[in-house]
Amino acid sequence: MKNIAVIGAGTMGNGIAHVFAQNGYKVNLIDISEESLDRGIATITRNLDRMLSKEKITGEDKIQTLKNITTHTQLSSGIPNTDLVVEAATERLEIKLGLFKEMDAIAAPNTILATNTSSISITKIAAATARPEKVIGMHFMNPVPIMKLVEIIRGYNTSDATTKVIMDLSLKLGKTPTEVNDYPGFVANRILMPMINEAIETLYHGVAGVEEIDTVMKLGMAHPMGPLQLADFIGLDVCLSILNVMYDGFKNPKYAPCPLLVNMVMANKLGIKSGEGFYDYNVSRKAEIVSSQFK
């Protein structure tokens, strides 16, 4: 497995492309516009510069990593002749189903199709293809170049052979793959999102303020980041989407998103990406927070 396609040049997609390229894989990074691709490559370049300044890589490593990435605006040019496609597009079912149907038609018969979804059913996504045994979840954590975990999610029809290939591949990337089964939220978000939602409920009911809630969890529970700051970092729209998937999947009220979260998303207070969430992020503060994740 040498040639990889990554669909989506946003936060997760450019991070996934970065990790594959840094480990010697040829990567086709695909997005709908040149502007999105340019932003993705700029982010990868900044992150490589940060690693270079910390002497984690050499200048030659940086040059070769960037050489390993080719950008495309069409699936038809970026997917053929690849061994693996990793989809990291918007967390919306209809978008993913459309992409996987198109990917299936373009990719070679033996190509594995993976999704970085954080909550949507792998089985449902695989049903849009004629190769459900070759569809699997690769849920990377943000920031991808730093975080070691890859949650490997088997759909109902995902084969043992596909799972082994992706587990082995993740190890070659320097990651720690953990195999889980296909239920709403998988493991990471089934546990994390209710905690974040409860932190928002705690704020909503006036038990404590934003910084106080985060301080309790950081100092009392040894979390590196408080749940409200983490929600801002993930994106409040993403948190809401994941909670809705779990609520719809389980029909259990404990997964119902807090009204405060719903209102904040409707008001476009999405966290770091919009400049305001539970915290207010000016340019320097945003840079400081993002930079801190790569220490």
Consult the annotation and say whether 13 binds a ligand: yes
**Residue 151 among the catalytic residues:** yes
Is 235 annotated as contributing to ligand binding? Answer: no
Catalytic choice (18, 47, 121, 139) = 139
- Reduced to 3 states (helix: H, G, I; strand: E, B; else coil), residue 6 is strand
106 in Cβ contact with 5 (< 8 Å): no
CB 1 within 8 A of CB 169: yes
276 annotated ligand binder? no
60 is in an annotated binding site: no
9 is in an annotated binding site: yes
284 is catalytic: no
Phi, psi (5° rounding) for residue 79? -95, -40
Do 167 and 136 form a contact (C-beta atoms < 8 A)?
no
Task: Spot the catalytic one: 151, 170, 241, 276.
Answer: 151
CA distance linking residue 273 with residue 232, whole number of Å:
8
**Residue 264 marked ligand-binding:** no
Q: How many other CB atoms sit within 10 Å of the CB of residue 156?
A: 13
Told to judge if 36 belongs to the known catalytic residues of this protein, a careful annotator would answer no
> Which residue among the candidates 118, 121, 170, 197 is catalytic per the annotation?
118
Q: What DSSP letter does each residue of 229-256 carry, written as one string?
A: HHHHHH-HHHHHHHHHHHHHHH--GGGS
Instruction: Please give the span between the terminal C-alpha atoms of the chain, in angstroms, as a whole number.
Output: 31
205 counts as catalytic: no
Closest CA to 23 of 49, 1, 38, 46: 1
d(CA 148, CA 143): 10
266 is known to lie in a ligand binding site: no
Parallel/antiparallel/unpaired status of strands 26-30 and 69-72: parallel
Strands (E), 141-207: 149-154, 176-181
The one catalytic residue in 170, 189, 197, 241 is 189
Say if residue 137 carries a ligand binding annotation: no
Q: Is 78 annotated as a binding residue?
A: no
Contact (CB, 8 A) for 29 and 72: yes
Please state, as a whole number, how many other Cβ atoms lie within 10 Å of the Cβ of residue 92.
12
17 is in an annotated binding site: no
Binding residues for NAD(+): 8-13, 31, 91, 96, 118, 142, 273
Q: Annotated active-site positions, please?
A: 118, 139, 151, 189
Binding residues: 8-13, 31, 91, 96, 118, 142, 273
